[in-house]
Amino acid sequence: MSRLLILGPLAGPLGLAARMAQGRGAAIAQADTVPAALAHLRGPGADLALCHVGHDVAALLRGLAAERIACPVVACGPEEASAEAVEAVRAGARDFLPLPPDADLIAAMLEAAAGVTEREAAPVARDPAMLAVLARAAQVARAEASVLITGESGTGKEVLARHLHAASRRAARPFVALNCAALPETLLESELFGHEKGAFSGAVATRKGKFEQADGGTLLLDEIGEMDPRLQAKILRVIQEREVDRLGGGAPVRVDVRILAATNRDLLAEVRAGRFREDLYFRLDVVRLRLPPLRERPADILPLAEHFARRYADANGLPRRALSPAARASLAAHPWPGNVRELENAVHRAVLLAEGAEIGPEAIELTPAPAAPGQVALATGVEALVGRTVDDVERDLIIGTLSHCLGNRTRAAEILGISIRALRNKIQDYRASGLAVPAAHGYAD
């Protein structure tokens, strides 16, 4: 369930937005002032804040940045308030939602913020390889043990984590997810452990971290392999002692949290290479669930495609249509690599493009299977690169990929095939040499 904080009056169009979000499974909290909103984000926390432009959106964003609270903010207001909308986005709001609200936009906003499109939807599975994973998940869901979920990017690790929580004894308590690769180290530390008033210059009040927010529930540490060794040590302490030390001292706070960790790396290899603490590895790897890439579970292709066809018909306000036999045949025959998102995008496009009563093969655009490395270089015209240094080409590629991903480092690193840490170091070098690098969500590194 995603947690939405609304800053503004619930009477009128904002109330309607709240009800729509609730209808999509979001838990709603409301605040009337910027200080009240900040107090909520310090305490229970939220996955997304929706702030009416009648309030000082910039002040809210400044407060969040100063207090190192990484909560995305979407501004909202009447359609005519375009000047306020531009101002809010300039100040760092992620987006502007015109009021009265549109159900599809609310759905898209929640999906972008928390990756949730449906109420605790169970993973789609028909292939024996995936059914075996779900059977094992069912066995361990009600236990308290940590679970390490491994699998290539986009194989459904977060979907499985939400499913484990929903099937656990903690289901009525919060599920909190944090992507350890998406934030710079200091921000990640504040996010995880919270801080006491005065811990740093912007820390005007005590703030609860994700461990405290997830108390009684489940905390998913996504992309744990990217975590800095110093923070790994702090996580280990929380697991061992069952208490959190907020930044800036004070007494430790007891927490009762089940930890799920996800990674697309070979964590044991990271341990051997000295980049991941062995003791933490063994604490997390009590139970391991490995998600097979899509190429290893062909029988899931069509059930997943049908699931996405329904999902994107609903999300776009279109009638649900069946995939025609020829469309099904072309999807089933395609050599999908591993990432379920590729199939999801192809079906999403098909839902938008199809014109008939069924979704036909003409609406399905499949990208050809990746070429062998030599072929790729030839196709991009390697001659055009001759005469330039490797550093130059690398820099252009990295910056170009970052702007393509709107500054999203996780996605950019994924596309570039390098670790987030390596990407961050490159970005720091480029910035130090005076280059403008696309920023992520308005936070500086």
Ligand X SMILES: Nc1ncnc2c1ncn2[C@@H]1O[C@H](COP(=O)(O)OP(=O)(O)OP(=O)(O)O)[C@@H](O)[C@H]1O
CB 244 within 8 A of CB 212: yes
Q: Cβ neighbours of residue 146 under 8 Å, at least 6 residues apart? A: 239, 258, 259, 260, 261, 283, 284, 285, 286, 287
CB 347 within 8 A of CB 310: no
Total count of residues recorded for the chain: 445
CB 69 within 8 A of CB 42: yes
Considering the complex, state which of residue 215 and residue 300 has its C-beta at the smaller distance from ligand X: 300
The site string for ligand X over 261-300 (x = CB under 6 A, - otherwise) reads: -x-x------------------------------------
Considering the complex, state which of residue 37 and residue 420 has its C-beta at the smaller distance from ligand X: 420
Considering the complex, state which of residue 63 and residue 225 has its C-beta at the smaller distance from ligand X: 225
Considering the complex, state which of residue 252 and residue 303 has its C-beta at the smaller distance from ligand X: 303
The site string for ligand X over 377-416 (x = CB under 6 A, - otherwise) reads: ----------------------------------------
Considering the complex, state which of residue 258 and residue 311 has its C-beta at the smaller distance from ligand X: 311
By CB under 6 A, tell whether 344 contacts ligand X: yes
CB of 60 vs ligand X, minimal distance in Å: 28
For 80-100, letters b (16+ CB in 10 Å) and e give ebeebbebbbebbbbbbbbbe
Q: What residues between 142 and 161 interact with ligand X by CB under 6 A?
A: 151, 153-159
Q: What residues between 92 and 151 interact with ligand X by CB under 6 A?
A: 115, 123-125, 151
CB of 163 vs ligand X, minimal distance in Å: 9
CB 229 within 8 A of CB 275: yes
Dihedral Cα 150, 190, 39, 168, nearest 10 deg? 20
Interface with ligand X (CB under 6 A), residue total: 19
Work out the burial of residue 409: count CB atoms within 10 Å of its CB; fewer than 13 is exposed, 13-18 middle, 19 or more buried.
Answer: buried
CA distance 214 to 44: 9
Considering the complex, state which of residue 88 and residue 304 has its C-beta at the smaller distance from ligand X: 304
Residue nearest to ligand X (CB): 156
CB of 44 vs ligand X, minimal distance in Å: 24
- Measured on CA atoms in the order 266, 272, 274, 277, is the torsion positive or negative? positive
CA distance 236 to 179: 17
Q: Quick check: helix, strand or coil at residue 243?
A: strand
CB of 151 vs ligand X, minimal distance in Å: 6
CB of 307 vs ligand X, minimal distance in Å: 6
CB of 143 vs ligand X, minimal distance in Å: 21
> 10 Å Cβ neighbour count for 356?
10
Considering the complex, state which of residue 5 and residue 221 has its C-beta at the smaller distance from ligand X: 221
CB of 233 vs ligand X, minimal distance in Å: 24
CB of 91 vs ligand X, minimal distance in Å: 29
Residue showing tokens 């050599």: 335
By CB under 6 A, tell whether 341 contacts ligand X: yes
Considering the complex, state which of residue 124 and residue 261 has its C-beta at the smaller distance from ligand X: 124
CB of 343 vs ligand X, minimal distance in Å: 8
CB 258 within 8 A of CB 168: yes
Considering the complex, state which of residue 124 and residue 259 has its C-beta at the smaller distance from ligand X: 124
| Residue 100, preceding peptide bond in cis (omega within 30° of 0) | yes
CB of 124 vs ligand X, minimal distance in Å: 4
By CB under 6 A, tell whether 67 contacts ligand X: no
The DSSP secondary-structure symbol of 202 reads T
Stretch that binds ligand X, among 3-11, 92-100, 338-346, 420-428 (CB under 6 A): 338-346
- Per CB under 6 A, residues contacting ligand X are 115, 123-125, 151, 153-159, 222, 262, 264, 307, 340-341, 344
